[in-house]
Chain A
Amino acid sequence: MAWAQRLLRIDRRVIFLLVAVLTLTFVLRPVGLAIRVSPEVRSIYDYIEKLPAGSVFLLSMDFDPASKPELAPMAVALLRHAFARKLRVMVMTLWVTGTGLAEEIVTSAAREAGKRSGVDYVFLGYTPGTVNVIINMGQDLAKTFPKDYYGKPIDSLPMMRGIKSLRDVQYMISLGAGSPGVEAWYVYGKEKYAFELGGGVTAVSAAGLYPLLQTGQINGLMGGLRGGAEYETLLGRRGVATAGMDAQSATHALIIALILVGNLGYLASRRRGQG
């Protein structure tokens, strides 16, 4: 039964090497496996699709660079959709370390869609206060963010005409990597100021938000790279999330194979011990 012991003692460096090789192979050469769209992602897409042109859409990128691979593709896909639907887009972040990243994402998406800052979209940036920012935005948006990220007074921007508080927002999505994130926007925002709310989170956090989804506290949920890939599928435009799904498929398959190998070795050695 030496083979059983060998199955239980695979060197962790071998596992690391396998993960690296598989990930690199499929990132560099994606095969393009078909992606099924889940109802929770479709409901976000459908809601934006039904919003009339000129509706106010608020996107809060509540994440830092650590979660960029999972959440940035969602932000890009949502902005592409919102710009295509001619919505008035407000972008902000509750995470100071995510400010530069959020700015880069919104600027490149706007440039691609031919949208102008202050006219078609506004980037509010970051202001300290976490959940207090949400409460203040619900009361008076211009007082909370007197200027946009580039220093222009909010009141002077054509895009902000008629937008006084969160009550004027038709749809809001928080892409959250932790706290403050989707739950904070529900508790301090939607619940009080009555706008529709959707969420996008990292894969590890997604399982925790399903109760909010079922009760209608959020109208849709995108989880991890898969959520971004599903949205890209709905837009009919493949991006980095879709490309990354092949690598994720391969890595998940490897993990399952390793679990099977480990259990095979464990059961064989246990049977030997009983004998």
Chain B
Amino acid sequence: MIFWKRTLPLTITCVMGVLGALQYYVPDPRSEAFLTGMAEWGRIIGGFAMILGVASLCHVHWGKIRRRAAGWGYSAVMYASMLVTVAVGLAAGGLRGPLVEAGTRFEWIYMYGMVALQGTMFSILAFFVASAAYRAFRARTAEATVLLVAATVVMLGRVPLGELILPPFRALGGWVSFPGIGPLSDWILNVLNAAARRAILIGISVGVIATSLKIIFGIERGYLGGGRD
């Protein structure tokens, strides 16, 4: 059993990982064909992963309903919504024609159900951001004060109202000048923010390379899952 559950997956991972990395440096038609083949396989596996995702979703929510766990009613709503959507989708043409065909009941569910609900969920963010900013943005330390000032400048500089009330000006024969809240906000985003983001990006990239090497050489085996051999 250890061969099927550990040796074979580790060998496939190692071989494909090394080939995938080498492919990038080999400008040969066979190398390109390999990349195309791998990408096609990735898409096929991606399609099956969707089925796996739906199966996993059903499994988790069915368990909640069966156990009458907290919030099991929401799981029932999930089941009802999914079954109705699938039934209406199949009745509206199923796998033939466009994914969301105009004028069908499935399009109605999509436009007036999914689009409206997802839009509502996202718009709630504005209310929570306002409430959270009021409670959390406090000048408790020097670092928090810097963050507070930067956030205020960016928030004002990214909207027309801010640029209206704080426009650029020069005074005292040019000794005192202010670029305007908009350009000041752009400077924070382009210089301070970009420098910090770049450092984070480099850190993440190095981490990804290290993790990839650990997976390729079988040091990191978390993806194999637990259980007995």
Chain A residues within 8 Å of B, Cβ to Cβ: 10, 12, 15-16, 18-20, 23, 33-36, 38-39, 64-69, 96-97, 99-101, 103-104, 107, 125-133, 135-136, 139-140, 149-151, 203, 206-208, 210-211, 213-214, 224, 226, 245-246, 248-256, 258-259, 261-263, 266-267
Q: Is the interface of B mostly helix, strand, loop or mixed?
A: helix
Please, which residue of chain A has its CB at the minimum distance from the CB of B97?
A151
B127 touching A15 by the CB < 8 A rule?
Answer: yes
B100 touching A267 by the CB < 8 A rule?
Answer: no
Q: How far is B159's CA from A245's CA once the two chains are assembled, in angstroms?
A: 7
A10 touching B99 by the CB < 8 A rule?
Answer: no
Interface size on B, residues (CB 8 A): 59
Q: Which residues does chain A contribute within 8 Å of B82, judged by CB atoms?
A: none
Q: Which 5 A-B pairs have the closest CB atoms?
A: A129-B43, A100-B100, A249-B161, A33-B160, A132-B42
A136-B36, A210-B193, A214-B190 in contact; A68/B127 too (CB < 8 A)?
Answer: no
Chain B residues within 8 Å of A, Cβ to Cβ: 32, 35-36, 38-40, 42-43, 46-47, 50, 97-100, 102, 107, 110-111, 114-116, 118-119, 121-123, 126-127, 129-131, 133-135, 137-140, 148, 152, 155-156, 158-164, 182, 186, 189-190, 193-194, 197-198, 201
Most buried by A among B40, B123, B164, B201: B40
Most buried by A among B114, B118, B127, B134: B134
Q: Which residues does chain B contribute within 8 Å of A207, judged by CB atoms?
A: 189, 193, 197
A128 touching B47 by the CB < 8 A rule?
Answer: yes
Contact residue among B43, B134, B158 (Cβ-Cβ distance under 8 Å from A133): B43
Q: Which residues does chain A contribute within 8 Å of B116, judged by CB atoms?
A: 65
A135 touching B134 by the CB < 8 A rule?
Answer: no
Q: Which residues does chain B contribute within 8 Å of A206, judged by CB atoms?
A: 189
Q: Which residues does chain A contribute within 8 Å of B129, judged by CB atoms?
A: 255
A69 touching B160 by the CB < 8 A rule?
Answer: no
Instruction: Give A106 Cβ to nearest chain B Cβ, in Å.
Output: 12
Instruction: Give B178 Cβ to nearest chain A Cβ, in Å.
Output: 15
A64-B118, A65-B115, A256-B156 in contact; A149/B162 too (CB < 8 A)?
Answer: no
Please, which residue of chain B has its CB at the minimum distance from the CB of A97?
B114
Contact residue among B39, B98, B119, B197 (Cβ-Cβ distance under 8 Å from A129): B39
